[in-house]
Homo-oligomer: A and B are copies of this chain.
Amino acid sequence: MPKEIPKNSVGIVEDKIQHFSQALTLVCGRELPEYDIAYETYGTLNATATNAVLICHALSGDHHAAGYHSMKDKKPGWWENCIGPNKPIDTNKFFVVCSNTLGHCKGSTGPASINPSTGKFYGPDFPIVTVKDWVNSQVRLSHALGIQQWAAIIGGSLGGMQVLQWAIDYPDYLKHAVIIAAAPKLSAQNIAFNEVARQAILSDPDFYEGHYYQHGVVPKRGLMLARMLGHITYLSDDSMRSKFGRELRQGKINYSYEVEFQVESYLRYQGQSFVDRFDANSYLLMTKALDYFDPASDYQDNLATALAKASADFLLISFTSDWRFSPERSQEILQALIANNQNVSYLAVEATQGHDAFLMPLPQYIKAFTHYMQRIAQQIGD
């Protein structure tokens, strides 16, 4: 619990839900007859609705990007380092919206929601959703909020992929695309890690082919393993070395299967706490959305062709020690934009923290990000 809310925080916030009663046809061919999207907002929309910024969240994130839901919260939203008064995404200047993804477990319609046509949990019958579907649902949210064009759409990791899809599919809807620690598609290794995570969940006897809600259980073991594995890929070898090294939990080796090294303790804790806050079916869906993401595939596998009609200015940011989506992956997007003679800035941040660096207050990153966003704010005027 924060004793008091820090002054540079957006403070106490509440999440909102927007209901959509018009059916949404999904890329997989199925249709959602109606659905909710959860979101939060920070700052104030100006009279001309030109200062709105959309934040897209990553795999294990949600729409609670900044501030606190109550004074009892132990932690603020996941991007508190970047959203707030005088922060890179300055809530004194921007009206910030963070939208939850369809299929998620925190307010948006997803597998843990009741299917109105059956009165039962969707469970595994919830359709497979893609990044393109998320963007389509966010377009509708934009309309509902009275926003015709976003001053910027911003996201890291899977969030950055949504930004890229926005820039390709809805060029007129955004003036700036900020894509951080992302990639234009997953590599075989990325898919392989997702597949192990999925198999951990799918093979958990408490998964019941996705119908675990009815059995009063959750596939804890599988979801925990998935999260532990994910966590390894978020950190760099170096950051794990400096964080944990070979430090022993009890100062001596016990020759047992109990926790010996601090890193084991950390991973188990991360895995266990994730189980309490995430739904396994939603996690499966999110990993599939990652795997399927490949916007160039609709354009003869040519990313430059895919981006040809994009009219946003781009800011790409990568982190040197990120091996989940390495700088080379951001540079694939960069090269496509350069080939098209499009307006792009690229920041390669020196960072030891791995993929997670995009969440951290690294001076070089914060400074450049702030500067870029200030220029956007100046373009908007008052």
Seen from chain A, the residues whose Cβ lies within 8 Å of a Cβ on chain B are: 27-29, 127-128, 185-189, 191-193, 195-196, 198-200, 202-205, 221, 224-225, 228-229, 231-232, 235, 237, 240-241, 243-246, 253, 255-257, 260-261, 263-264, 267-268, 271, 284, 288, 291-292, 294, 323
CB distance from A284 to the nearest CB of B (A): 7
Tell me if A186 and B246 are in contact (CB < 8 A): yes
Take A185-B246, A203-B221 as given contacts and tell me if A192 and B257 are in contact as well, using a CB distance cutoff of 8 Å.
Answer: no
Cβ-neighbour of A196 out of B192, B203, B229 (below 8 A): B229
- Chain B residues positioned under 8 Å from A192 (CB to CB): 228, 231-232, 240, 263-264, 267
Tell me if A260 and B225 are in contact (CB < 8 A): no
CB distance from A306 to the nearest CB of B (A): 15
- Tell me, in angstroms, the Cα distance from A198 to B225 when the chains sit together: 10
- Chain B residues positioned under 8 Å from A127 (CB to CB): 255
CB distance from A195 to the nearest CB of B (A): 5
Q: Which chain B residue has the least Cβ–Cβ distance from A204?
A: B221
- Chain B residues positioned under 8 Å from A27 (CB to CB): 255
Take A205-B205, A232-B196 as given contacts and tell me if A188 and B225 are in contact as well, using a CB distance cutoff of 8 Å.
Answer: no
Question: Assembly of this chain: how many copies?
Answer: 2
Take A195-B263, A261-B188 as given contacts and tell me if A292 and B229 are in contact as well, using a CB distance cutoff of 8 Å.
Answer: no
- Chain B residues positioned under 8 Å from A256 (CB to CB): 128
Cβ-neighbour of A224 out of B28, B189, B199, B205 (below 8 A): B199
21 contacts between A and B (CB under 8 A): A186-B246, A188-B241, A188-B243, A189-B235, A189-B237, A191-B261, A191-B264, A192-B228, A192-B240, A192-B263, A195-B228, A195-B261, A198-B257, A199-B224, A199-B225, A199-B228, A199-B271, A200-B200, A203-B221, A229-B229, A257-B288
- Tell me, in angstroms, the Cα distance from A237 to B261 when the chains sit together: 27
Tell me if A268 and B199 are in contact (CB < 8 A): yes
CB distance from A197 to the nearest CB of B (A): 9
- Chain B residues positioned under 8 Å from A28 (CB to CB): 255
Cβ-neighbour of A188 out of B221, B240, B268 (below 8 A): B240
Q: In the complex, which of the residues A191, A235, A292 has the most CB atoms of chain B within 10 Å of its own CB atom?
A: A191
* Inter-chain pairs besides A191-B246, A237-B323, 4 sampled, C-beta below 8 Å: A187-B241, A188-B237, A196-B228, A200-B200
CB distance from A317 to the nearest CB of B (A): 21
Tell me if A237 and B284 are in contact (CB < 8 A): no
- Chain B residues positioned under 8 Å from A186 (CB to CB): 246
CB distance from A82 to the nearest CB of B (A): 27
